[in-house]
Amino acid sequence: MKVYTKTGDKGTTALFGGTRVPKHHIRIDSYGTVDELNSWIGLIRDQKIDPIIKNALVNIQDKLFIVGAVLATDPEKAILKNGKERLNISKIKDSDIEFLELGIDAMEVNLPAMTHFILPGGHTTVSYCHIARTVCRRAERHASQLNEIEPFEENVLTYLNRLSDYLFVVSRKLSFDLGADEIKWIPEKK
Question: Higher-confidence residue: 73 or 45?
Answer: 45
Residue 15: the pLDDT is 64
Average pLDDT for 94-121 = 94
SS3 state at 117: strand
Segment (H or E) for 160: helix 154-178
Residue 28: C-alpha distances to residues 43, 84, 96, 113, 115 (Å): 23, 24, 24, 39, 38
Average pLDDT for 55-66 = 98
Answer positive or negative: Cα dihedral of 133, 167, 41, 48. positive
Q: Which of the four pLDDT bands, split at 50, 70 and 90, describes residue 39?
A: very high
Q: Which of the four pLDDT bands, split at 50, 70 and 90, describes residue 18?
A: low
Q: Where are the alpha helices (DSSP H) in 22-153?
A: 26-45, 51-71, 94-108, 124-149
| Opening angle at CA 151, ends 147 and 152, nearest 5 | 100
73 strand-pairing partners: 16
The mean of the pLDDT values for the chain is 90
CB 188: neighbour CB atoms within 10 A? Answer: 4
Q: Does domain 22-74+92-185 have CATH number 1.20.1200.10?
A: yes
As a whole number of angstroms, the distance between CA 182 and CA 170 comes to 13
User: pLDDT of 149-187, one tens digit each?
Assistant: 999 999 999 999 999 999 999 999 999 999 998 888 888
